[in-house]
Structure 1
Amino acid sequence: MPATTRRELLKQLGGTAAAFAFVAAAAPLATAAPGSPGPAAAPAAATPRVRTLLARLTLDEKIGLVHGATDPRRLGQAGYLPGVARLGIPELRLSDGPAGVNVARSATGLPPVSTLGAAFNPALARAYGAVMGREGRTLGQDVLLAPQIELSRTPFFSRNKDQSGEDPYLNAVIGAAQVEGVQAQGMLAQAKHFLANNQRLHEFDRADPENSYDFVVDDRTLHELYLPAFEAVVRAGVASVMSAYNHLNGPWNSENRTVLTDLLRGELGFEGFVTSDWGATHSTAALQAGLDMQMWDGSHFGAPLKKAIEDGAVPLAALDTAVSRILGRYDAFGMLDGTRVPARKRIDVEAGARVAREVAVQGAVLLANDGGLPLSPEARRDLALIGPTAAQVAVSVSGERAYGFEDRMVSPLDALRRTTGRKIAYAVGVDLTGTAVPASTLPGGLARAGGGTDANVDFTGDRALPLGTTVTWTGTFVPPTTGEYALNIQGWGAAVSLSLDGEELATASGVRDAFTRKWSSVVPTTDGLDNGRAAPVKLTAGRSYALVVKATGWDDTVVERAPVQVRFAWVTPERRAADIAAAARLARRVHTPVVFAYNGEGGALGGSGDLTTLALPAHQDELIAAVAAANPRTVVVLNTGGPVTMPWRRAVGTVLHAGYVGQEGGWSTADLLLGRANPSGKSIVTWPEKEADHPTLDPAHPERYYGVDRTVTYTEGIFTGYRGFDKAGTEPLFPFGHGLSYTEFAYSALSVRRAGQGYEVSFTVTNKGRRTGAEVPQVYVGPPRHAPVELPVRTLAAFTRVTLRPGRSRRLTLRVAERRLSYWDTDDARWIRPRGSRGVYVGSSSRDIRLRGTAG
């Protein structure tokens, strides 16, 4: 079915929810025979315009269309193709996502996809995509590297914040909606990362690629968990797919014919082009496997590919196929004939801000509430906020996102003060900025390479060094007491680094793609520097440590150069203890303390490595416990990208998971705390009570995450997330789909009837409380009694989102498609629906089942 026809059909079906119903109901697609010889010919669907261009292109011009190059305009995007001006083939610029447009100029700082997914709202996901597509076009971009639609298989995955959770159906719906929103603006979407790219640990060792582990996933698990989201975006007409870094069942994903040709093109029917993840191409052979474009350079698809074609090692037809796929998307989006949706001249800052704020509101999950929220009149009159992300808004962490407009980044503390007109007390609790390390700990001062000595490194504000300054300081650091220190290197206008005894501990304000942002930590320093935070280090009093601080001033290729500011800062053990004690004292004297806690700082989330623990960093568990001991009315707000453990849970009755909240998140958080907005988000992952409870972190199965014999094996199969908890009978801290409200919803009158090859599940939802609120009813199905294979105890089969005023009811009908009732038969390579009646469960989470029925 041509992509244009598919898009028209999806439009007629009324959007993403209907689109995925169409996907799920579709007959199984034929699977290409594994190992079929030779490259595919130019796609039969190639337009006459593309065929004409292909005939006129020279070999060098074709080569130039399949690998990245340097953009002479330096807009700050991730990738660039030069185009062919003589034939009217335009340049192509590819911008990082998946949460906003990541280029040198500012764009709306959207909350990450994990916050979006928690809204369970495809219409909002479509609006989210529209903001990215609209702003990307305005900023001169053509391809958005989004959506990210991997499954959140392990809670340690550093990029869980960038995707919509552990359920394949939810992941598919939210991903397809984003594609629709992006591409309606004339921007090409690139879904990533294909395939089974669910952790950073062992994924790809850049220094030694041969040290990268193999990831072994059986065919049933691939089809039931990891392919549905990609099938959904293909059906939604996604223009491009990014191949992943990791090996999968042997070969690299970027040169895996089974993955790129047999599955993606043969089975899913993908008609667009495949780009490698940046640096994930390993040979010219990848072209014949189904990779169309190497990013970011031409190390394999440049001169080596030309030589391979001239030598006959790679057939010219393989290159023609890749070029045809790329130009086919150019043509489909009107890039070759001037019919492309026109770009807007300027960013509509207010429109983007409205979507960002709504995502932060709808994506907040009220995990527990003993009456602490919304804040009572007494609490508002005598309120204290505690924690660094109370006084600075936690937009998100790390890169591959739009940083946002700094002038809109109002903190929750300021938003509450402005909204209530009250002088709300504040304690930092955990100091992320610290103070400059004093000269008294640096005996003899720090020597500058090339001459000169400085008492310490604190060149900030009026003491900033001249534009472009490059300097290295060396000396000795002698801590005054024994204990755990937080050491920071903070900077702007230069790439800065900190090393102790020959080991680099932290960096900040480094340049990528000709620009940088203040995203080395969850928030910048309080005086506006990028804050490179080392992991806590235990130091011994009186011992001499060799210290090296480097600052390399940005050169004139960097957009928005600035004078060089650099500071070597610390938080001592004594200061940390004093800050916690001060927070507890403040908590004792107010009616309600609200503690804001975070994770993801120091590159631990979204950086080069996965999390190593679900415990909150920087002694925040200690802080929360101290505040809760001082005041039983303590409320906790979590700015995290996923679940954390809660050793203080019995002492804290109210917990709001706000997630990372985007540039407007101060206002959204204030609205939620005050009751101006009603929380309605649902958890997109299962929160384990302890790490070992999670299927991928089960100590009995190290192969599932840590790997054995250089292999990570998905031996849990289809039983990850809530499916694994259900199979093991493990009680979670909070289940998948869980989220409370400031009102109460009742479910009644369940009816299940056959509808075509699936079922229609009807029921009534009533708002029994005193506030308007939104609920997300979820329909799960169980297995038939005598299924030929093991099936999950419950599988999410449908959901919707409904907003009701107090006392109002609504009759809802949700369709369960045949695909949600089927499993992948590996022997016959097809979907099979097992016979027999099965349970139908309707509820407010995977464990909070309100209605039970049977489908015959």
Structure 2
Amino acid sequence: MVKLIRKLAVLGGIGVATALTDGGHFETVPTYPTPESSGTGWEVAFQKATDAVAKLNLTQKVALTTGATMGLSCNGNISPIEEIGFSGYCLADGPVSVRIADLATVFPAGLTAAATWDRDLIYQRGKALGAEFRGKGAQVHLGPASGALGRHPLGGRNWESFSVDPFLTGVAMDFSIRGIQEMGVQTSAKHFIGNEQETQRSNTFTEDGLEVAALSSNIDDRTMHELYLWPFADAVRAGVASVMCSYNRVNQTYVCENSKILNGLLKDELGFQGYVVSDWFATHSGVASAAAGLDMTMPGAMNSAATAIFPTPSYFGGNLTAAVLNGTLTEEKVNDMARRVLTPYFYLKQDEDFPSIDPSTGFVFARTYNYPDIYLTGAGMDPNNPPPARDVRANHADIVRKVAAAGTVLLKNTNNVLPLGKPKNVGVFGNGAADVAQGLTFTGDDSGPWGPNIGALSVGGGSGAGRHTRLISPLFALRGRIEDYGGRVQYLLDNHMMVEDDFTSIYPTPEVCLVFLKTWAREGTDRLSFENDWNSTVVVENVARRCNNTIVVTHSGGVNTMPWADNENVTAILAAHYPGQENGYSISDVLFGEVNPSGRLPYTIPKKESDYDFPIVNITGDAARVSAAWQADFTEGQFIDYRHFDARNITPQYEFGFGLSYTTFEMGSNATFERKCAGISPLPPRTNGTHPGGNPALWKEIGSVTVTVRNTGDLAGAQVVQLYMAFPQDSVPEGTPVSVLRGFEKVSLRPGEAKSVTLPLRRRDVSFWNVVAQDWEIPSGDFEFRMGFSSRDIKTTVTSSFVV
């Protein structure tokens, strides 16, 4: 361990941001005081918030920072204050839907949106989500997520976020936030930060009452900045209203009371002007958390025994009031917290005709989780008279269908078996093809480690899920399409039968066999296997042995191994991720060629499980009772996913950024570089004041790379032009990745059409985090800018330097 830590120090891991404990783990250096908000970028709203706070007494100001316990209509609430015209906050899950509501759309997962590599579609998805939250009367959308980033391929919540790459995730955060907030709904960027596994993500209690601390994610300074903090900078730059601090510890301290993380990185370095809200029950202290930068505790109570009618004490509330009165906490600190809470309310004009909360959501919540009627009556509702639900879906099914199809990645297409023509005899196999046997409203909470047995997956489980008003299964969509032209559909949906090799009901042998596999992922647990669930490999092998035109579709919450990928009878493979409620229609559109697949992998698919070597920390037995044992040392630094594969020279099954099309493309061999600035200094110029996103100089375009791409096939299609950058290796610290994504653009082309594509480079993109200077530095020497169609399919390279 000592040698490992010394090596990490050489990587630039310690600096002034972290120290080492006696046990050899990183420890956060305290950072005080909290930078006061200045309202930069939100000046008018900030002044309104300042004026409003001046009219409040201490108890009212503290109420703005303290959840009003868990209600039935919202996941969290801040009580209204009539004196200042504040209608209160309804905070609602989640990243893909107004989670516990009727007549709301279930959108594709963040992972699926990232697989589109399409800024406009990501924005349109966000805008539609914002419209539905507004329609239901929820001021705060608890999303989007950029953590978990995806350090662990088996992380249970990877699907809620976008990509394992910080650049791609940062772009998705930016466009999602702008889309949602355009509709007047606040966003909450989460989970900040280092929440990379679900196992022991939070403190737990043993049967005999012993408290065991949450896992500590031990992250060095440079890795924090260049990997995990990167997409949150994009979120702050985009104007995110709030940031949700996560359950875990970072460098031994709980994030929601970690002054280096909240005061230092978020509010000072990134210039965040909004409020920090805790994840639910992630607060562990009152004054200490407030001083460290926490502005709002949710759901308000200390523990999960709280309900709308049985409140329990809060770490904030009366405790903060008492702390001010006895001099432990200054009232000006509470004033800053309250200003931060109110500023987004005025900035997004939520004081102007914002819809009331849909009263039906309380009934939906109670009935979904079988709450007794006392919960409804305690909240002032009549259990025998549920109000009608407010329908907020509009035409959003169309957006779901487009995003899901665009996020489907074609991985294999032997002899162009896809798109399908009009096969007369089609076989549909696998328990991922059918309607969910448990019905539309299953919560997934009691589905075990693999989710429901029979039924299509649209999203994963937990607070990031959605409640379906409709869910189109692949079998439903395919039967409608195939039977419409006179074709025949045979099917087997029970994986156990196929594992037992029982295909007696299938005759004659289908011309094409479509196998639908699935992988369940959810909050609270991590995945158990890289392979798809429900004996997927045996299912594929047994179908393919009978059918020499077997097409496999996976609906998955993350990375899978595909041991059957090279089977010659498996002629095509599509990774369709979690597609949302239009599951069947979107995959049918791709299979039959109404949509030319243009998705690209936002992660790397390995040939075998051992290609990844970042195991989930999972301690069992008596050792699990020791808090100090729960440590995750991020000793790999920045080398996760494709950066790891590149550094170890491992050949993947399918690389990051990979994806096929029904047409073909070529890229010109002569990329050109244009420098936008002369006389660039290694370190950015100093700036006064705070600026959302950090030093404005980091966001200035200082160069660009241009290439030409042409559609050389017979069909219209879209290609993703990708820019990977290699730092000058002689002038950067050890631990710098071989190549990193620094630009992309999706380009639609007609047959024979060519377009010139220019990808900008900002100072931030060509800098590394100097842990001594505590700033972003552009190294001297020649950079390589590698243009291509994936991380390993590089077509042309151009070199240039910035600093002489």
- Find the aligned partners of 2:612 and 2:499 in 1 and give their Cα distance: 34
CA contact under 8 A between 1:429 and 1:582: conserved in structure 2?
A: no
- Report whether the alignment pairs 1:411 with 2:503: no
- Report whether the alignment pairs 1:716 with 2:646: no
- Matched residue, 1:286: 289
Displacement after TM superposition at 1:34 (Å): 6.7
- Find the aligned partners of 1:643 and 1:36 in 2 and give their Cα distance: 37
642-651 vs 355-364, which deviates more? 642-651
- Find the aligned partners of 2:602 and 2:732 in 1 and give their Cα distance: 29
CA contact under 8 A between 1:430 and 1:580: conserved in structure 2?
A: no
1:221 to 210, 223, 234: 223
Q: Secondary structure at the match of 2:506?
A: helix
Q: Secondary structure at the match of 2:792?
A: coil
Describe how 1:147-186 pairs up with structure 2 within 5 A: 147-150=144-147, 151-186=149-184
- Report whether the alignment pairs 1:361 with 2:282: no
1:619 to 535, 545, 562: 535
1:105 to 96, 99, 102: 102
Higher RCO (Cα < 8 Å, 6 or more apart): 2
- Matched residue, 1:351: 395
Residues 1:712 and 1:161: Cα distance change in structure 2 (over 3 Å):
same
2:675 to 748, 751, 754: 754
- Report whether the alignment pairs 1:323 with 2:338: yes
- Matched residue, 2:434: 391
Segments of 5+ residues of structure 2 without an aligned counterpart are 1-15, 19-27, 302-313, 359-388, 436-455, 621-625, 681-701
Deviation string, structure 1 residues 190-230 (Cα, Å, up to 9, x no partner): 10011121111232133365332221100100110111111
Deviation string, structure 1 residues 620-641 (Cα, Å, up to 9, x no partner): 2111111111122111000111
- Find the aligned partners of 1:608 and 1:88 in 2 and give their Cα distance: 38
- Find the aligned partners of 2:581 and 2:219 in 1 and give their Cα distance: 38
125-134 vs 583-592, which deviates more? 583-592
- Find the aligned partners of 1:855 and 1:628 in 2 and give their Cα distance: 50
Counterpart residue identity of residue 232, structure 1: D
- Matched residue, 1:525: none
Displacement after TM superposition at 1:114 (Å): 0.4
Describe how 1:199-218 pairs up with structure 2 within 5 A: 199-207=197-205, 210-218=212-220
CA contact under 8 A between 1:752 and 1:760: conserved in structure 2?
A: yes
Counterpart residue identity of residue 462, structure 2: G
- Matched residue, 2:576: 658
- Matched residue, 1:608: 524
Q: Secondary structure at the match of 1:179?
A: helix
1:797 to 737, 742, 751: 742
Displacement after TM superposition at 1:120 (Å): 0.6
Counterpart residue identity of residue 598, structure 2: S
Describe how 1:641-652 pairs up with structure 2 within 5 A: 641-651=557-567, 652=570
- Find the aligned partners of 1:838 and 1:70 in 2 and give their Cα distance: 53
CA contact under 8 A between 2:204 and 2:212: conserved in structure 1?
A: no
Displacement after TM superposition at 1:36 (Å): 5.4
Q: Secondary structure at the match of 1:669?
A: helix
- Find the aligned partners of 1:67 and 1:38 in 2 and give their Cα distance: 21
Deviation string, structure 1 residues 498-542 (Cα, Å, up to 9, x no partner): xxxxxxxxxxxxxxxxxxxxxxxxxxxxxxxxxxxxxxxxxxxxx
- Find the aligned partners of 1:78 and 1:813 in 2 and give their Cα distance: 44
CA contact under 8 A between 1:430 and 1:618: conserved in structure 2?
A: no
644-653 vs 771-780, which deviates more? 644-653
Deviation string, structure 1 residues 475-512 (Cα, Å, up to 9, x no partner): xxxxxxxxxxxxxxxxxxxxxxxxxxxxxxxxxxxxxx
749-758 vs 125-134, which deviates more? 749-758
Residues 1:339 and 1:375: Cα distance change in structure 2 (over 3 Å):
closer
Counterpart residue identity of residue 491, structure 2: A
1:693 to 607, 611, 614: 611
Q: Secondary structure at the match of 2:457?
A: coil
Residues 1:674 and 1:48: Cα distance change in structure 2 (over 3 Å):
closer
Counterpart residue identity of residue 315, structure 1: T
Displacement after TM superposition at 1:697 (Å): 3.8
Deviation string, structure 1 residues 566-610 (Cα, Å, up to 9, x no partner): xxxxxxxxxx2466523487387111111000010xxxx113111
- Find the aligned partners of 2:628 and 2:31 in 1 and give their Cα distance: 32
CA contact under 8 A between 1:108 and 1:402: conserved in structure 2?
A: no
Describe how 1:498-509 pairs up with structure 2 within 5 A: none
- Find the aligned partners of 1:229 and 1:37 in 2 and give their Cα distance: 24
- Report whether the alignment pairs 1:852 with 2:797: yes
1:190 to 188, 191, 200: 188
Displacement after TM superposition at 1:774 (Å): 0.7
Displacement after TM superposition at 1:781 (Å): 1.1
Displacement after TM superposition at 1:166 (Å): 1.1
Q: Secondary structure at the match of 1:116?
A: helix
Counterpart residue identity of residue 419, structure 1: R
Counterpart residue identity of residue 744, structure 1: T
Counterpart residue identity of residue 647, structure 1: P
Deviation string, structure 1 residues 752-782 (Cα, Å, up to 9, x no partner): 2322363321111111111111110101111
What TM-score do the two structures reach when normalised by structure 2? 0.79
- Matched residue, 2:55: 56
- Find the aligned partners of 2:257 and 2:247 in 1 and give their Cα distance: 10
Displacement after TM superposition at 1:304 (Å): 2.5
- Matched residue, 1:115: 112
Q: Secondary structure at the match of 1:581?
A: coil
Residues 1:753 and 1:620: Cα distance change in structure 2 (over 3 Å):
same
2:515 to 583, 588, 595: 595
- Find the aligned partners of 2:745 and 2:465 in 1 and give their Cα distance: 29
- Find the aligned partners of 2:396 and 2:714 in 1 and give their Cα distance: 31
Displacement after TM superposition at 1:71 (Å): 6.6
- Find the aligned partners of 1:323 and 1:719 in 2 and give their Cα distance: 40
Q: How many residues align?
A: 669
- Find the aligned partners of 1:243 and 1:678 in 2 and give their Cα distance: 40
- Matched residue, 1:144: 141
268-277 vs 390-399, which deviates more? 390-399
Q: Secondary structure at the match of 2:730?
A: coil
- Find the aligned partners of 2:138 and 2:662 in 1 and give their Cα distance: 42
CA contact under 8 A between 1:158 and 1:606: conserved in structure 2?
A: yes
Displacement after TM superposition at 1:297 (Å): 1.9
CA contact under 8 A between 1:681 and 1:739: conserved in structure 2?
A: yes
Displacement after TM superposition at 1:838 (Å): 2.2
- Matched residue, 1:571: none
What TM-score do the two structures reach when normalised by structure 1? 0.74
Displacement after TM superposition at 1:307 (Å): 2.7
1:332 to 319, 341, 347: 347
Counterpart residue identity of residue 291, structure 2: Q
- Find the aligned partners of 1:811 and 1:343 in 2 and give their Cα distance: 48
Counterpart residue identity of residue 473, structure 2: S
Describe how 1:406-805 pairs up with structure 2 within 5 A: 406=469, 408-420=470-482, 421=484, 422-430=486-494, 576-577=496-497, 580-583=500-503, 586=506, 589-600=509-520, 605-651=521-567, 652-697=570-615, 709-748=629-668, 749-756=670-677, 758-790=702-734, 791-805=736-750
Displacement after TM superposition at 1:339 (Å): 7.3
CA contact under 8 A between 1:97 and 1:400: conserved in structure 2?
A: yes
CA RMSD of aligned residues (A): 2.7
Deviation string, structure 1 residues 694-742 (Cα, Å, up to 9, x no partner): 142499xx9xxx9994210111101111111100001111111011111
Deviation string, structure 1 residues 329-381 (Cα, Å, up to 9, x no partner): 22222234x37699999655342111101110110001111136424436x21
- Find the aligned partners of 2:392 and 2:355 in 1 and give their Cα distance: 17
- Find the aligned partners of 2:328 and 2:255 in 1 and give their Cα distance: 21
CA contact under 8 A between 2:498 and 2:542: conserved in structure 1?
A: no
Q: Secondary structure at the match of 1:660?
A: coil
Residues 1:579 and 1:424: Cα distance change in structure 2 (over 3 Å):
farther
- Find the aligned partners of 2:529 and 2:737 in 1 and give their Cα distance: 28
